[in-house]
Amino acid sequence: MPERLGFFNSAVMIALVAAITFILRAAPFALFGGRRKTPAVIIYLGGVLPPAIIAALVVYCLRSTDFTVHPYGLPGIASVIVVALLHIWRKNTLLSILGGTVLYMTLIRVV
């Protein structure tokens, strides 16, 4: 094994990352979950935020795509479109995901 940080320093760094991650994930619940009645604005956001977040996550997944050099982001974009079409057509989650992933893995090897 290569030289690395000692046990204690490694454990501290991991604990720090775990703690910050947990605090960020728990923050909304700590702020708005304690009261018996959830504020109306949070209930509203709970309804409209998911489609906005999911749309942003699709972009997030494709964020490192480079459209300026070969293959111009084609594998990612084409596979996303195929997943969407497959899902509109067959409405089968596993089929859509498997089909798109196999296509993507093929495209990045042959294009």
d(CA 55, CA 59): 7
Q: Which amino acid is at 5?
A: L
Q: Considering the complex, what minimum distance in angstroms separates the CB of residue 7 from another protein?
A: 10
Q: Is 111 near another protein (CB under 8 A)?
A: no
**Secondary structure of the chain: what % helix, strand, coil (to 5)?**
75, 0, 25
According to CB under 8 A, which residues from 46 to 105 bind another protein? 46-64, 75-76, 79-80, 83-84, 87-88, 93-94, 96-98, 100-101, 104-105
Which helix (H) or strand (E) is 76 found in, with range? helix 74-90
d(CA 96, CA 85): 8
Q: Give the footprint of another protein on this chain (CB under 8 A).
A: 1-5, 9-10, 12-18, 20-22, 24-29, 32-33, 38, 41-64, 75-76, 79-80, 83-84, 87-88, 93-94, 96-98, 100-101, 104-105, 108-109
